[in-house]
Amino acid sequence: MGESRTELLAWINDLLQLGYTKVEQCGTGAAHCQIMDSIYRDVPLSKVKFNAKHEYEYVANFKILQTVFDKHKIDNAIPVERLCKCKFQDNLEFLQWMKK
């Protein structure tokens, strides 16, 4: 069993200096890009849409994330369609995987 919602929010807010109150806020993809940048330091954050409000902007952020995964040979499918819907369970599970 993975970390709880509360533990994940505390972790991501501390790591990225954010003020997220819901796991669903990760559905924009921006935080995931920042997490990867904190590890590899080569994510083109200037291309990440941090104030994304629309699903097509979220998809663009996840494309950046996929490029990073490919570059570093991270073999995990990103369920973009599900994450972009900003539903709790999908984002919780992906965030739990990211924290591993």
pLDDT in the model for residue 1? 62
Please state the rounded mean pLDDT for residues 33-62.
98
23 exposed, middle or buried (CB, 10 Å; 0-12, 13-18, 19+)? buried
Average pLDDT, the chain: 97
Answer yes or no: pTM beyond 0.85.
yes
pLDDT in the model for residue 2? 80
Name the amino acid, one letter, at 54: H
User: Is there a contact between 79 and 27 (Cβ–Cβ < 8 Å)?
Assistant: no
Q: How far apart are CA 94 and CA 71, in angstroms?
A: 19
Take residue 44 and report the two structure tokens written for it: 């083109």
pLDDT tens track for 51-90: 999 999 999 999 999 999 999 999 999 999 999 999 999 9
Take residue 87 and report the two structure tokens written for it: 């539903």
Q: How far apart are CA 69 and CA 66, in angstroms?
A: 5
Domain residue spans in the chain? 5-99
Q: Domain 5-99 sits in which CATH superfamily?
A: Calponin-like domain (1.10.418.10)
Name the amino acid, one letter, at 21: T
